[in-house]
């Protein structure tokens, strides 16, 4: 976690600025970070970043349009210096991915890894330690990034039905609890284009209790749940197909699909939970590229990924046991062959 002096400094920024523009990563951790800051200030505007891999100067248009008094960038690992330099107001970046080799200039940069390279506390848990409100949103984002935070006991006390006390790992929280369903809801409403995603997020800014969504006790909650159900139907169909295909796989479970929502991260997470002894690679083919999520419980992935890119054109990286990778469709077979080579026999 960030030192309390830094948490206080961020809180002061939120108290002293009335019109923040908040860019955030399009996953539950990013969304929940945005929601906490937005609800704390009570005003401002959020922009979901779907661009990959970099937040670039093309987004400056949005800054000029809105004229904010401060810009936040939450949970987004790669930001171009030109983007930062093009902003007239103050820029505050909060992240928990490995910091850039060349530190960003002209901004305040907060990342727990700067002090402790192993501390990758999700951004939504950092935001909670800043604002100290909306613990259910903070918890959703944090568990969405496979982490149980220090405020878990406090949360269990406030929302005992969402996460039973016996839960001791993020995996069990994700796949066996109501909180896990909430994480999935927050992930699935982001599918589709930015406009649709933002209109759902706007609805959530007005929701006071998670049961409004989970039990559909308010019109807002009902709206969110309906959107989730529609996406979930697609997801469950794909999951079923991949589970069947998995019976033929040995040490590597790989599956490529196209023409559907981007589910590679959600699918690979659920499949590695179901098949912890395999390496899981789920890819989505689109315009000549395959975007993949790679998971393993045992193997440290980033050095392997780096090694693969010496022979195959592509980019990607990520955490020790979870990586995002992009390869050209024409190179994909070669990529899989090489990958298999790096996985030790079961």
In the complex, the residues that contact Mn ion under the rule CB under 5 A are 29, 75, 122, 145
Nearer to Mn ion, 32 or 305 (CB): 32
Give the pair of three-digit tokens for residue 275: 């098949």
- Residue number, 188 or 332, with CB nearest to Mn ion: 188
The residues pairing with 256 across neighbouring beta strands, listed in sequence order, are 283
Write the secondary structure of the chain as one string of H (helix), E (strand) and C (coil).
CCCHHHHHHHHHHHHHCCCEEEEEECCHHHHHHHHHHHHHHCCCEEEEECCCCCECHHHHHHHHHHCCCEEEEECCCCECHHHHHCCCCEEEEECCCCCCCCCCCCCEEECHHHHCCCCCCCHHHHHHHHHCCCHHHHHHHHHHCCCCCCCHHHHHHHCCCCCCCCCCCHHHHHHHCHHHHHHHHHHHCCCCCHHHHHHHHHHHCCCCCCHHHHCCCCHHHHHHHHHHHHHHHHHHHHHHHHHHHHCCCCCEEEEEEECCCCCHHHHHHHHHHHCCCCEEEEEEEECCEEEEEEECCCCCHHHHHHHHCCCCCEEEEEECCEEEEEEEHHHHHHHHHHHHHHCCCC
Q: By beta-carbon distance, which residue lies closest to Mn ion?
A: 29
Q: How far is the CB of 144 from Mn ion (least distance, A)?
A: 8
- Name the minimum Å distance from CB 215 to Mn ion: 28
Please say which residue, 281 or 322, places its beta carbon nearer to Mn ion. 322
- Minimum CB distance to Mn ion smaller for 27 or for 134: 27
* Least distance (Å) between residue 318 CB and Mn ion: 11
- Taking the least distance from each CB to Mn ion, the nearer of 26 and 134 is 26
**Please, what is the end-to-end C-alpha distance for the chain in angstroms?**
36
Nearer to Mn ion, 32 or 339 (CB): 32
- Measured from the CB of residue 323, what is the shortest distance to Mn ion in angstroms? 14
Compute, in degrees rounded to 10, the torsion defined by CA atoms 182, 183, 186, 189.
-90
State the minimum distance, in angstroms, from the CB of residue 73 to Mn ion. Answer: 12
* Closer by beta carbon to Mn ion, 26 or else 145: 145
Give the strands of the sheet with 45-49, arranged side by side. Answer: 45-49, 20-25, 70-74, 90-94, 108-110
- Output the smallest distance, CB 142 to Mn ion, in A: 9
The least CB distance from residue 307 to Mn ion, in Å, is 25
In whole angstroms, the minimum distance from the beta carbon of 190 to Mn ion comes to 13
Closest to Mn ion by CB, 75 vs 270, is: 75
């Amino acid at each position: 976690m960030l030192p309390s002096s830094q948490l206080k400094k961020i809180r002061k920024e939120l108290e002293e600025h009335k019109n923040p523009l908040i860019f955030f990563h399009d996953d539950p951790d990013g969304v929940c970070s945005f929601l906490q800051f937005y609800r704390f200030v009570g005003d401002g505007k959020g922009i979901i970043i779907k661009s990959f891999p970099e937040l670039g100067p093309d987004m400056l248009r949005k800054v000029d349009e809105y004229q904010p008094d401060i810009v936040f960038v939450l949970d987004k690992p790669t930001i171009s210096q030109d983007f930062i330099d093009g902003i007239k107001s103050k820029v505050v970046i909060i992240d928990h991915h490995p910091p850039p080799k060349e530190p960003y200039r002209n901004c305040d940069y907060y990342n727990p890894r700067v002090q402790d390279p192993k501390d990758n506390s999700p951004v939504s848990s950092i935001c909670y330690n800043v604002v100290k409100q909306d613990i259910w949103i903070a918890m959703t984002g944090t568990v969405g990034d496979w982490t149980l935070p220090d405020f878990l006991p406090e949360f269990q006390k406030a929302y005992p039905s969402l996460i039973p006390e016996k839960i001791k790992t993020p995996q069990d929280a994700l796949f066996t609890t109501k909180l896990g369903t909430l994480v999935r809801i927050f992930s699935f409403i982001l599918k589709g284009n930015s406009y649709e995603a933002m209109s759902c997020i706007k609805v959530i800014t007005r929701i006071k209790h998670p049961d409004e969504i989970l039990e559909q006790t308010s019109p807002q909650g009902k709206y969110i749940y309906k959107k989730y159900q529609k996406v979930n139907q697609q997801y469950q169909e794909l999951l079923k197909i991949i589970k069947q295909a998995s019976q033929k796989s040995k040490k590597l479970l790989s599956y490529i699909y196209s023409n559907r929502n981007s589910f590679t991260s959600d699918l690979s997470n659920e499949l590695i939970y179901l098949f912890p002894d395999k390496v899981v690679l789920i890819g989505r083919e689109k315009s000549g590229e395959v975007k993949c999520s790679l998971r393993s419980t045992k193997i440290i992935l980033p050095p392997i990924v780096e090694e693969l890119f010496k022979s195959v054109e592509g980019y990607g990286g990520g955490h020790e046991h979870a990586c995002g990778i992009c390869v050209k469709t024409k190179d994909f077979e070669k990529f899989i062959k090489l990958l298999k080579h790096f996985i030790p026999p079961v």
